[in-house]
Amino acid sequence: MPEASEASDQIDDGLDVEARLPAASSVGHAIRLANEGIELRDSGAYDQAATIFRNVIELYPHFVYGWQELGVLMALRGQATEALQLFTRAATTDPSDFQCCKHLVLHQIALGQLDDARHSLFLHQPSTPANQTLVEVYRDFVDFIEEYPKQRALDMISRYETAGCYLSPSQIQRPIFAAIESRAPFSLIRLGDGEGAWLSISPEDTQKFERIYAFNRKKTLRVWFGTDRFQTLPSFIAASRRLAQAVQSADLVGLPYGLRIAREYQVSSLNGVPSCVNILRWLEQRDPSGTGRAYCSQDVHLILHREGFFVRLFSLPIEIGIISCHPDIGYRIAKAFGTKVCQILIIPEEAGFSEVDQTLSTIKGTSGMTEPHFPITYNRVLTKIRENPFEVRVWLVAAGFLGKIYCAAARDAGAVALDIGSIIDGWAGKVTRPYLENIQDFSL
């Protein structure tokens, strides 16, 4: 069933709390109490949180978030029926509040009550055009889930995992080192939510789920570049097509694994479900038997780190190139391991992690890049990979969506390219993902 934090992260449509309360004098107290309950709930003090939420409901029955937040708590506790009742109460108390509608719909989806979810969306009375759009996005999501239920998705990944070309953690290093040794081109590309949003299945499919696909693409663009204006930009559309070519030419492709997919369904992730499923659908069209190339988990970067792959790689007498937003990481690797890091190509941070001070007088610990990743830096990086003046043998690429295209370009130029993603953040001492919380485990 949906969990509060992930579900509420999906849309930033704001809580217009004050507008939902009958008397202005009640607002402050209701919000204070609700926030206190949320804080307790987030810290795991469920009983105390429940007491507070019930208090809010009793004092302010028209305050929809009292019902909603208690519903979230019940869902967290696994009390799905109670949660459903509470979400329903919130949504019916204020049919124009999209937050309440969203919680109810996601919960119904998680329970497999797709017709009920559709009905909830039908009953919603959008207060703004933006909310109307969101209702349509959620309708698409319900349709998508109906066509691709969890078990179907799990069956799809299972076929790849059992087809004989799916590498276990202990098998992943071998083909990479073999390519390095034989000076053969090689690329490892990992596919995640963002990439899944940009892999097109067919024009018919794009039309069928147009609104949710557009919504997810915009979301990924905002995460990567801080703007969604590239969505219809012809040059970016062209770049996104190159993603498909990059995956086609890859020697090893990291896929979302069963547990991950199940988790996306469990939280009714608006982005995660269609993206994971579409990665698998896209692959099924091109490699239905799952034997066309090697596959592995999308967490391959983490696996390689834990298996000591990078320490072995760094001790080899070969030229390494790095593409990342961490300007000093190449120096640190070279200094720590004596590695021949012969080229560094710096890209801007993902928009969400940028810390650039506009005065530029106190920039510390940032890439210092002044231009956006796309298209200027992107074109420059591609040129440098193709020219390869320092004869880089292995490229370590941590560049998000565009990084997959860099991997393909490096492979085309005869090098080995490894899409190592956020593991490099850990090396740089930056906690950018939950798995990096124990950052000391990732220090070089």
Partner 1 sequence: MIARSTNNGLLAELAETGPIRTAVAMVVAHQDDETIAAGGTIARMLDLTLIHITDGAPLDLAISQAHGFETRAAYSAARALELEAALTAACARPVRRLCYAVPDGEVAGHFDEIVERLAADLMPAEAVITHPYEGGHVDHDACARAVHMAVAILQNIMGRSPTVFEFASYYLQHGIVRAGLFWPEAGSPEVEIRLSSTALCRREAAFHCFKSQSGNLGYFSLDTERFRRAPAYDFSLPPPPRRR
> Of the two residues 39 and 328, which places its CB atom closer to partner 1 in the complex?
328
The gap between the terminal CA atoms of the chain, to the nearest Å, is 39
Q: Is 237 in the site for partner 1 (CB under 8 A)?
A: no
For the CB of residue 377, give the shortest distance to partner 1 in the complex, in Å.
7
Q: Which of 296, 341, 397, 436 binds partner 1 (CB under 8 A)?
A: 341
Q: Which residues lie across from 396 on neighbouring strands?
A: 322, 418
Residue 355 interacts with partner 1 (CB under 8 A): yes or no:
no
The residue among 293 and 332 lying less far from partner 1, judged by its C-beta, is 332
- Which residue has 């608006």 as its token pair? 270
Which residue among 180, 334, 431, 444 contacts partner 1 (CB under 8 A)? 334
The whole-angstrom separation of Cα 302 and Cα 257 is: 14
By beta-carbon proximity to partner 1, the closer residue of 24 and 360 is 360
Rounded to the nearest whole angstrom, what is the least distance from the CB of residue 442 to partner 1 in the complex?
A: 18
Taking the least distance from each CB to partner 1, the nearer of 275 and 367 is: 367
Of 5, 43, 315, 370, which lies in the binding site for partner 1, with binding defined by CB under 8 A? 370
| 23 binds partner 1, rule: CB under 8 A | no
Window 371-410: contact mask with partner 1 (x via CB under 8 A): x----xx--x------x-xx--------------------
Distance of CA 102 to the CA centre of its chain: 20
Smallest Cα–Cα separation from 3: which of 73, 82, 53?
73
Which residue, 245 or 331, is less far from partner 1 as judged by CB? Answer: 331
Nearest residue (CB) to partner 1, 296 versus 347 = 347
Closest CA to 398 of 347, 331, 442, 352: 347
Q: What is the smallest separation between the CB atom of 237 and partner 1, expressed in angstroms?
A: 25
Minimum distance from CB of 393 to partner 1 (Å)? 13
Q: Per rule CB under 8 A, is residue 316 in the interface with partner 1?
A: no
Backbone torsions φ then ψ of 13, nearest 5 degrees:
-105, 10
- Out of 121, 165, 342, 418, name the contact with partner 1 by CB under 8 A: 342
Rounded to whole angstroms, what are the CA distances from 125 to 86, 99, 100, 299?
A: 19, 12, 11, 42
CB of residue 376 to partner 1, shortest distance in Å: 8
Contact status, residue 195 vs residue 221, Cβ threshold 8 Å: no
Q: Using CA atoms, how far apart are residues 214 and 196, in angstroms rounded to an integer? A: 12
Measured at the CA of 80, the angle between CA 77 and CA 86, to 5 degrees, comes to: 95
Q: Which residues of 157-168 are buried (b: 16+ CB within 10 A; e: fewer)?
A: bebbbeeebbbe
Among 25, 359, 438, 440, binds partner 1 (CB under 8 A): 359
In the bound state with partner 1, the residue whose beta carbon lies nearer, of 158 and 366, is 366
The CA-atom distances, in angstroms, between 280 and each of 82, 262, 266, 276 are 35, 14, 18, 7
Q: Which residue type is seen at 412?
A: D
Minimum gap (Å) between residue 186 Cβ and partner 1: 23
- CA atoms within 13 A of residue 435's CA, in its CB half-sphere: 14
The answer to whether 335 contacts partner 1 (rule: CB under 8 A) is yes
CA–centroid distance for 300 within its chain: 16
Residue with tokens 């009550």: 113
Verify binding: residue 354, partner 1, rule CB under 8 A.
no
DSSP state of 64: H
Cβ of residue 318: shortest distance to partner 1, in angstroms?
Answer: 12
Give me the least distance between CB of 302 and partner 1, in Å please: 25
Q: Minimum CB separation from partner 1 for residue 308, in Å? A: 22
CA 194-195-200 angle, to 5 degrees, is: 120
Q: Does 444 bind partner 1 (CB under 8 A)?
A: no
CB of 344 to partner 1, least distance (A): 4
Q: Are strands 394-397 and 319-324 parallel, antiparallel or unpaired?
A: parallel
The piece of 193-201, 343-351, 398-406, 410-418 that touches partner 1 (CB under 8 A) is 343-351
H/E run at residue 235: helix 234-249
Q: Where along the sequence are the contacts to partner 1 (CB under 8 A)?
A: 327-328, 330-332, 334-335, 338, 340-346, 359-364, 367-371, 376-377, 380, 387, 389-390
